[in-house]
Structure 1
């Protein structure tokens, strides 16, 4: 969910640009629902941590900004809202006294502008927490962490296990539109102009299977899911990319407007309970998440002390 090639980001400019990964299934249905959900939410009080939580309880519904991205938040083939973020939202908001969630589909790059212009109440799209974004929105603590992985030919004939291997072995490299993996490869010394940019992980798999590239880089979750039925390709073991020379782990979270600290804090309190009990993994597991994606990271850590990582 890092250009102008900033680190840890899925689009060219924070808050703008194309989707972090492809829309995949559900785009057509999302467009239909988007037309019905494009009106703005009412102006809220910004004093004392905001009153959005009270207004959501009174209305009985929370409007979720989603990006039509599997497995994070999307409309399925039956026209139903699903994904790790919407399913988690259903559980948390019900416990906060809000019984219904309503999707507002948009492009990933429009989530922050849409949130701040009140087109929806919460961004629920598995958005990565970055210092740049933390200046624009208020993040909950991450509900998952994510490592990188490669799609390679069966047997990994070139022995590619990290971006340094890609550079050292002069492998033909591909990744997705706006993926953070672009910057990770460039940081390792790969020429950006030599990177093959494809729409999504499915196109990346096809490129590897066809021999057009040696490797496609994506998240560990998406690579392992997309190669399940492939007879020609496999996913490498997950690894931490280097950021400023240090191993880095990304974390994805719900985003709120900067004024809504009460809602963010209430959300975090329920999220922590679910982490401690193991319920969070049970909710996310149907979407391909494993114990390896569970995290104790905080928004404050990933924000680097930025506004969006502040706690009450």
Structure 2
């Protein structure tokens, strides 16, 4: 997911029907419906009192048999499908790893992206499973597992890309109307390239972005490459397309994002056990086999570590 680099604080039905792809719309609708459920079920959270030696949450989750996942409703990382079921690459990975750790069930708790880290640290859920990018600011707030993927950016543009938008610099130089997700890293990339922050239109998700571009209310929607290509393919609108992948520039350097699960600072034992299983899956190729159905390609797998990214 293309999340903000800073701290985590914080469709029109007529247009939606024209897409003719119920599954794209229903994920967002189901997420909204379940968001309230996530708030009400948070009262049954597990205490995060640390043992002072890496935490004992793993043992307690094994005893209760369920781990609560904080998700943010972005395809393909974690979202609710047309049947109201939790899906996405992160939940798929979580089901496998937590089962191997002796925890049979995963319970989704949907929330806004900006609420994931506060929700984790206030014990509303046990782990963030949303493809969250690792950056230095977040590394001060949570423990990251090693990343599953690394990702370039891409744009949703109108068919034929009439304004020739391929990078954030293009957007700034041509005065194009840019939209992106609330809290996405793309905000910082665009501002760094010269786009005025006050002129960036912030939207709830990639589907809303596609609709803005399709309706001519934005020239471009910026997101991770896999997010934009998935929503364009699924929409089948014929009025939009996605651009070629590119590596964003931030402060003069290429900034290739890496996404990972996040844990509370006090729970290094759980994070380490998770990492051990994750590394086995990477080595055997199982991780890519799980992620491929969600649109990932082999070049987007990574051997980078959270320690490297947190620097």
More helix by share: 2
For 2:4, the equivalent position in structure 1 comes to 10
For 1:140, the equivalent position in structure 2 comes to 145
Distance 2:68 2:82 in 1: 21
For 1:245, the equivalent position in structure 2 comes to 252
For 1:302, the equivalent position in structure 2 comes to 309
Q: Which runs of 5+ in 1 are unaligned?
A: 2-7, 305-312
For 2:28, the equivalent position in structure 1 comes to 24
Distance 2:278 2:102 in 1: 15
| CA spacing shift, 1:202–1:63, aligned 2, 3 Å | closer
Matched residue SS, 2:43: coil
Distance 1:31 1:183 in 2: 30
For 2:84, the equivalent position in structure 1 comes to 79
| CA spacing shift, 1:34–1:287, aligned 2, 3 Å | farther
Distance 1:34 1:83 in 2: 21
TM-score (norm 2): 0.87
Q: Which runs of 5+ in 2 are unaligned?
A: 11-24
The root-mean-square deviation of aligned C-alpha atoms, in Å, is: 2.1
Q: Does 1:232 align with 2:236?
A: no
Q: Does 1:190 align with 2:195?
A: yes
Whether the 8 Å CA contact 1:38–1:104 is kept in 2: the answer is no
Deviations 1:67-117 (A, max 9, x none): 233322223232322221111111001111212212223322222122222
Whether the 8 Å CA contact 1:46–1:260 is kept in 2: the answer is no
Whether the 8 Å CA contact 1:76–1:82 is kept in 2: the answer is yes
TM-score (norm 1): 0.86
| Aligned length, in residue pairs | 293
Matched residue SS, 1:253: strand
Whether the 8 Å CA contact 1:25–1:76 is kept in 2: the answer is no
Q: Does 1:98 align with 2:103?
A: yes
Deviation at 1:254, TM superposition (A): 0.8
Q: Counterparts in 2 of 1:173-212, with a 5 A limit?
A: 173-212=178-217
| CA spacing shift, 1:24–1:59, aligned 2, 3 Å | same
Distance 2:158 2:111 in 1: 34
